[in-house]
Amino acid sequence: MKKKKIIRISIYIVITLAVLYFLVNLVMLLLIRNDADLEVPDLTGITVADGYDRLTALHLFLVKDGEQYNAVISSGAIVSQVPLPGSKVKAGRKIKVIVSRGSEKVDTPNVTYKSWRDAEIVLRQAGLIVGETLRIYSDREQDTVIIQDPMAGISLEKGSSVNLIVSAGRIGEGAIMPNLLSRPYEQVGQIIRLMGLQVSQVTTEVNDNIASGTVIAQIPEANNPLTKDTVVSLVISVRSGEELVSPEVKIIHYEVAQGLLGKRVRITITDEEGEREVFDQTQAPGTKLNVAASVKGQGKAKIYVNELLVEERQL
């Protein structure tokens, strides 16, 4: 009797083990089959956190494999992945991603007083390009960069353009008036001063489609004959509701102190519109600056050299 009981128990154990073995193999088979059906989602353009959540739901793992600059995909978003979207993988697979650092930034180099060709080379070496080039008459050597926009030191996206105003030499026979339209009044005032001309009249006109302080008309018009005695009239835009006060062009004269190294000169203006910067460039020792700025009402200029306030004057 005892022997039969032992045999019966042994049979139960064998059957139980066989069933467990069958079930384990069935589960493993199903898991392998399910793993093979996993499709890698497209993670490009989403944040690392969102990518992690998507992969976790599929029993996959996200691994950050590096960063790179990308002008299209915003900083912190995924640029690329391995395996590629749509690939079939098993559960537990690591998905490697490259994350965007956003657009690469570069500091605008100082190209004033360089020839146009040298300026173009310097800008290209910095990862920038020459944008619009305006040639104006001045007492500076022909083909020399007089003004750059943006100014030196401004951070730009790599590949951005820098506009240049270049000397065409002194006004002579056959000289024509440059096109000053669509430019900020401060810049136009400086251009006119550099050409050795005078502004006879500045009026304003309401235009809600153009930024305030933009030159919208000029006399003489562009391409008309120009002489040393030409007097210029300008119309600048204002927005509805703004006080129609014609700003006055003030010329700020300053000579950079002598020395061995160039100095960063920064000039700010304070008037009825508040405080704003009108000049910020590194200049060679002994350089004589003539900076034009529009001033509404009583104004005050502050001159900084290497970020130290060296002079404050009423305008």
pLDDT in tens, 50-67: 999 999 989 999 999 999
| Average model confidence (pLDDT) across the chain | 85
Cβ atoms 70, 103 nearer than 8 A = yes
pLDDT at 98 over 90: yes
Q: Residue 205 forms beta bridges with which residues?
A: 237
Q: List the alpha helices (DSSP H) in 129-277.
A: 185-194
Q: In what order do the strands lie in the sheet with 274-283?
A: 274-283, 263-271, 300-305, 308-314
Q: Which residue has the tokens 């064998």?
A: 14
Q: What CATH number should be reported for the domain holding residue 285?
A: 2.60.40
Torsion angle, alpha carbons of 303, 163, 120, 259, to 10: -10
Q: How far apart are CA 235 and CA 219, in angstroms?
A: 9
- For residue 312, the one-letter residue type is E
311 shares a domain with 264: yes
Q: How does pLDDT run across 108-138, given as a tens digit for each residue?
A: 998 988 999 999 999 999 999 999 999 999 8
187 shares a domain with 162: no
Q: Give the pLDDT of residue 246.
A: 53
Average pLDDT over residues 24-36: 55
Residue where one domain finishes, among candidates 65, 81, 103? 103
Q: How does pLDDT run across 233-262, given as a tens digit for each residue?
A: 999 888 887 654 555 667 788 889 888 888
166 shares a domain with 155: yes
Q: Give the pLDDT of residue 218.
A: 95
190 shares a domain with 166: no
109 shares a domain with 97: no
278 shares a domain with 240: no
Q: Domain range holding 144?
A: 104-170
Q: How far apart are CA 102 and CA 157, in angstroms?
A: 10
Which 3 state secondary structure label does DSSP give 290? strand
Q: Give the pLDDT of residue 247.
A: 58
Residue where one domain finishes, among candidates 55, 76, 103? 103
Phi, psi of 42 (to 5 degrees): -80, 120
Q: What CATH number should be reported for the domain holding residue 88?
A: 3.30.10.20
Q: Which residue has the tokens 């690329």?
A: 80
Neighbours of 95 (CB within 10 A): 25
Q: Give the pLDDT of residue 3.
A: 60
314 shares a domain with 257: yes
21 shares a domain with 79: no
- For residue 87, the one-letter residue type is S
Confidence at 299, pLDDT banded by 50, 70, 90: confident
pLDDT at 9 over 80: no
Q: Give the pLDDT of residue 31.
A: 56
Neighbours of 203 (CB within 10 A): 11
Q: Which residue has the tokens 């392998």?
A: 32
Q: Give the pLDDT of residue 25.
A: 61
187 shares a domain with 131: no
pLDDT at 161 over 90: yes
Q: Give the pLDDT of residue 24.
A: 64
Give the list of residues 6+ apart from residue 101 with CB closer than 8 angstroms, or none.
67, 68, 69, 70, 75
Q: Which residue has the tokens 């951070």?
A: 155
Residue where one domain finishes, among candidates 246, 266, 284? 246
231 shares a domain with 184: yes
314 shares a domain with 289: yes
Q: Residue 294 forms beta bridges with which residues?
A: 249
- What are the C-alpha distances in Å from 315 to residues 105, 189, 270, 278, 282? 37, 15, 10, 14, 23
Domain count across the chain = 5
242 shares a domain with 183: yes
